[in-house]
A and B are shown apart, each in its own frame.
Chain A
Amino acid sequence: MNELLLLGLADDELILGWRDSEWTGIAPMLEEDVAFSSIAQNEIGHARAVYELLADDADVLAFDRKPEEYRCAPLVELHLLDWGRTIARRCLYEVADEIRITALMEDDDARVAGLAAKINREEAYHRMHAEMWRERLADTPQFRSAVDELWRYALGVLPPKQREALAARLGREQVDAVERGTHDDAFAALHDEMTMVRRSAPAGAQW
């Protein structure tokens, strides 16, 4: 089991789920607000399932690490303040995630392969949602420039050997990727907010 890769995957899902949840209540349409929030919640569910492969208590991995210990790709932690770039990120992320998840479905470890297949079934709906938006926005200058801007970040979601597949799928040339391992300044604030409940009730909050 490639624990570092799985930790990166789980952190990507947790942080993207967190960032996308920031649209709850303020998405451009009420209907999309519900859909986008639901997808964000699914991603956090995937993160939990992967953390549980790696540790007995998912919360320990999700909330008890220091900011610099998170392995998420810089793409997912970007604090994007407009809808076009948020959707561009989702579209890029879904394609990268599909390449990564389908590879994991062939993993030698049956638990990893089984979980990847389970995640993939739910991701099929996320891809449909992203593709629907991509088709609608593809011709707008805002969306095109957002994809250009985020492309080098998207490459950083995948290990180098899977990047050619991503470039081929999207019809783009490979460029220098923004690699995992560093965080931008906004991540500290995200981490602080995300771990607030955990820090206030270390034994586990009751709802």
Chain B
Amino acid sequence: MIWEVFRQDRKGQPFEHAGSLDAPDAEFAEAWAREQYGRRGESVALWLAPRDAVHVVGDWADEFDLKYRRVDGYSIKARLKEARERAAAAGTG
């Protein structure tokens, strides 16, 4: 049984995927996760989830080319530059 392990660096930080391990039940998973993801003091908390319990979403249909919903077509950089220049001009004026 594969378990996905998520670890938290510090209290208040988001949990991040640390890796996975193969363990027959939650007790073994806990013991082994403690050793692999906690024994150097690198985690304040762990989440262990059986891989089967993870609902995976990985297909993204884009049949109608809805790229206007994405942000990669906009050059934020150029607009930021303009805005900064305007702000600077207003500041000295």
B24 contacts A136, CB within 8 Å? yes
A38 contacts B35, CB within 8 Å? yes
Tell me the residues in window 11-44 of chain B with beta carbons closer than 8 Å to chain A beta carbons: 21-24, 27-28, 31-32, 34-36, 39
Interface of B is mostly: helix
B21 contacts A31, CB within 8 Å? yes
A30–B36 CA distance with the chains assembled, in angstroms: 10
B35 contacts A35, CB within 8 Å? yes
For residue A132, which residues in chain B have a CB less than 8 angstroms away from its CB? 27-28, 31
Closest-by-CB residue of B relative to A32 is: B32
B32 contacts A34, CB within 8 Å? yes
Which interface residue of A31, A32, A34, A136 has the most chain B CB atoms within 10 A?
Answer: A31
B39 contacts A31, CB within 8 Å? no
For residue A30, which residues in chain B have a CB less than 8 angstroms away from its CB? 22
Q: Is A189 in contact with chain B by the CB < 8 A criterion?
A: no
Interface size on B, residues (CB 8 A): 12
Interface residues on A, range: 10 to 19
Chain A proximity of B51: nearest CB distance (Å): 15
Interface string of B27-68 (1 = CB under 8 A from A): 110011011100100000000000000000000000000000
A30–B28 CA distance with the chains assembled, in angstroms: 12
Interface string of B80-92 (1 = CB under 8 A from A): 0000000000000
For residue A203, which residues in chain B have a CB less than 8 angstroms away from its CB? none
For residue B27, which residues in chain A have a CB less than 8 angstroms away from its CB? 132
B24 contacts A35, CB within 8 Å? no
Known A-B contacts A128-B31, A129-B31, A132-B31; the reply to A34 vs B24 at CB < 8 A is no
Tell me the residues in window 112-137 of chain A with beta carbons closer than 8 Å to chain B beta carbons: 125, 128-129, 132, 136
Known A-B contacts A38-B35, A38-B39, A128-B31; the reply to A31 vs B22 at CB < 8 A is yes
A34–B27 CA distance with the chains assembled, in angstroms: 16
- A-B contacts, 13 of them at CB < 8 A, read A31-B32, A31-B35, A31-B36, A34-B32, A34-B35, A34-B36, A35-B31, A35-B32, A38-B39, A125-B34, A128-B31, A136-B24, A136-B28
